[in-house]
Structure 1
Amino acid sequence: MAARAALLLGVVLATHPPGDAALLEANGNLSCRCAKTTRSFIPPRRYSSVEVRPAGSSCRRPEVLIKLKSLERVCVDPDTPWVRKLLQDLPNLRKRAAPR
């Protein structure tokens, strides 16, 4: 009986390649918040807040979510040049927005 269980386990492991985690992410089974992203520029005057979620165990890619003043949430591509600039300037913007 133990030999059959070991054989069955071996067959299951041999038939499921390591890339199955990518399928889980594509199917939305990991907790990524962005199903799709935009590369279109969004003027900062429309922002209510910016949320940066680094890559980790729950989502394999970094995510940048912009909440607009219209309460809409937009996921932007973190590799877009304007988003990279925004992320670079974000610490300075926070310092200016902090009350004195």
Structure 2
Amino acid sequence: MAMRAALLLGLLLVVLCPGDAALLETNGNLNCRCAKTTTAFIPLRKYESVEVRPAGSSCWRLEVLIKLKTQERICVDPNTLWVRKLLQDLPKL
């Protein structure tokens, strides 16, 4: 009987763990693709494509993903100066 009570208590602790609530609060909407972003400059010659995901119902923030020729995807900070310039020049490219 004591073993069942301990298992039930353990299960309740896992389900009601405050760490999970903190994760939801900091991440906001779980449909966002970028958990982390970089501000490091990425040369244009390395790009395969650029994906811009505007803020909306799927994610609360603007997301900019750069797919490199190596097939790696990198999330960049849209508030960085070079990314803002890239977004302005994107229609011209």
| Common topology (TM > 0.5) | yes
Equivalenced residues, count: 73
Give 1:51 deviation, angstroms: 0.1
What residue in structure 1 maps to residue 73 of structure 2? 73
What residue in structure 2 maps to residue 37 of structure 1? 37
Could you tell me how far apart the structure 2 residues matched to 1:24 and 1:57 are? 16
1:84 aligns with 2:81: no
CA gap of 1:23–1:58, structure 2 versus 1, over 3 A, is farther
2:35 is paired with a residue whose SS is coil
Could you tell me how far apart the structure 2 residues matched to 1:92 and 1:86 are? 10
Give 1:23 deviation, angstroms: 5.7
Structure 1: runs of 5+ lacking an equivalent: 1-19, 94-100
What residue in structure 2 maps to residue 46 of structure 1? 46
Give 1:58 deviation, angstroms: 1.4
Instruction: List, as ranges, runs of 4+ consecutive aligned residues in structure 1 with deviation greater than 4 Å.
Output: none
CA gap of 1:23–1:29, structure 2 versus 1, over 3 A, is same
Structure 2: runs of 5+ lacking an equivalent: 1-20
Q: TM-score, normalised by structure 2?
A: 0.71
CA gap of 1:49–1:25, structure 2 versus 1, over 3 A, is farther
Give 1:61 deviation, angstroms: 0.4
Could you tell me how far apart the structure 1 residues matched to 2:25 and 2:91 are? 30
Q: TM-score, normalised by structure 1?
A: 0.66
Could you tell me how far apart the structure 2 residues matched to 1:56 and 1:35 are? 17
CA RMSD of aligned residues (A): 2.0
